[in-house]
């Protein structure tokens, strides 16, 4: 291994910059060259590269987003696109890759490796925390803290006006953000894709909550929940069935993807970057680096793609008890 290419791909997440910094500086530490590839796989196809040294990553450990920019490349899904990408990295002398992204990005990496046999390492970067083989993905902790901070503010209005708020959070098909931020922010109910509460039980729970003396409530809803109504339809449904409730909706959206990474995400990014580069140096390929317990681990990338990251079911019970 002489020259590593690093790219960020898919949705950005806080901590990606800290991971780029770690990869670049670990390369420098081991006297390996490092090349930044802009806009993920699309930049690989277009030959958008930049030489990176330890000074090119100054002052980014604390920055959200990704200085390398990110994209979801359609061209890379075609054999012609990948061929072009490979010619470009060959021309640039890049002999291995670190891909920072989610499972779509890892799928691309795996296909690319199988076609051209270029060593690759994946670093999980997504706020959704939906990747098998790691307890935490980069950006998840930051997103949780952002969501909790915002719901704390929403609670002020909920409580001042005796209102019920439906707060929709991101997570794609996974309920990790909703479940954990919901508990952290003291939600009355949490709707997640992994557990369909059902409309009747939701109404029942809201009725009970009113009867128990609560005057305001927060319900956190994962964007991928299975209740069968979008958050605005749900508001209408609840108001029609429980006229005693004055409901408002807040869809948090992309604010959850931005902002300075938490210390946890920065430390995790630094550790994962070191492990990714050092694993390539040791001759390993086709793994995703992750964290299980407090140990930095390697998971075969095909397992990371195919496996399912389960929610912790104990948290469902905790959430339930906390809303008593």
Which residues participate in the annotated binding site for Mg(2+)?
A: 103
Nearest distance from residue 167's CB to ligand F6P, in Å? Answer: 14
Number of other CB atoms surrounding residue 32 within 10 Å: 17
Joined tokens for residue 75 = 């061209």
Residues 6+ apart with CB under 8 A from 234: 166, 221, 227
Q: Which of 5, 15, 124, 171 binds ligand F6P (CB under 6 A)?
A: 171
**CB of 221 within 8 A of CB of 168?**
yes
Nearest to residue 227, comparing CAs of 256, 190, 198, 269? 198
Nearest distance from residue 123's CB to ligand F6P, in Å? Answer: 15
Residue with tokens 């002999």: 95
Q: Which residues are catalytic?
A: 128
Give the 3-state secondary structure of residue 207.
Answer: helix
Is 255 or 263 the residue whose CB approaches ligand F6P more closely?
Answer: 255
Nearest distance from residue 102's CB to ligand F6P, in Å? Answer: 6
- The C-alpha atoms of residue 269 and residue 2 are separated, in whole angstroms, by 22
Contact between 170 and ligand F6P by CB under 6 A: the answer reads yes
In the bound state, the residue with its beta carbon closest to ligand F6P is 170
Q: Number of residues interacting with ligand F6P: please give it, by CB under 6 A.
A: 10
Give the 3-state secondary structure of residue 142.
Answer: helix
Q: Which of 82, 172, 176, 235 binds ligand F6P (CB under 6 A)?
A: 172
Q: Which of 128, 189, 194, 265 binds ligand F6P (CB under 6 A)?
A: 128
Is 26 or 70 the residue whose CB approaches ligand F6P more closely?
Answer: 70
**CB of 16 within 8 A of CB of 8?**
yes
Residues contributing to the site for ligand F6P (CB under 6 A) = 11, 102, 126-128, 170-172, 223, 257
């Amino acid at each position: 291994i002489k020259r590593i290419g690093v790219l960020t791909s898919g949705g950005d997440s806080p901590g990606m910059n800290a991971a780029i910094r770690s990869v670049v500086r670990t390369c420098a530490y081991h006297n390996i060259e490092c090349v930044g590839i802009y806009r993920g796989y699309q930049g690989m196809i277009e030959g958008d590269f930049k030489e990176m040294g330890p000074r090119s990553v100054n002052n980014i450990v604390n920055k959200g987003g990704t200085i390398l920019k990110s994209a979801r490349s359609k061209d890379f899904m075609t054999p012609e696109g990948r061929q072009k990408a490979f010619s470009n990295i060959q021309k640039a002398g890049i002999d291995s890759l670190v891909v920072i992204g989610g499972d779509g990005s890892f799928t691309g990496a795996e296909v690319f490796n199988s076609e051209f046999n270029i060593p690759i390492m994946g670093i999980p970067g997504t706020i959704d925390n939906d990747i098998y083989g790691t307890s935490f993905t980069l950006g998840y902790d930051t997103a949780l803290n952002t969501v909790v901070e915002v719901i704390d503010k929403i609670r002020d209005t909920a409580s001042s006006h005796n209102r019920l708020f439906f707060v929709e959070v991101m997570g794609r098909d996974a309920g990790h953000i909703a479940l954990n931020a919901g508990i952290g922010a003291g939600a009355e109910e949490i709707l997640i894709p992994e557990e369909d509460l059902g409309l009747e039980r939701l109404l029942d729970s809201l009725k009970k909550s009113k009867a128990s003396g609560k005057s305001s409530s927060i319900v956190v809803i994962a964007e991928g929940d299975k209740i069968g109504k979008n958050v605005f339809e749900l508001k209408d449904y609840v108001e029609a069935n429980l006229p005693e409730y004055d409901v408002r909706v807040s869809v948090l959206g992309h604010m959850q993807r931005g902002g300075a990474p938490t210390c946890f995400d920065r430390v995790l990014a630094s550790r994962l970057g070191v492990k990714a580069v050092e694993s390539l140096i040791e001759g390993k390929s086709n793994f995703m680096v992750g964290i299980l317990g407090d140990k930095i681990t390697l998971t075969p990338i095909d397992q990371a793609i195919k496996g399912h990251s389960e929610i912790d079911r104990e948290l469902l019970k905790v959430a339930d008890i906390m809303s008593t």
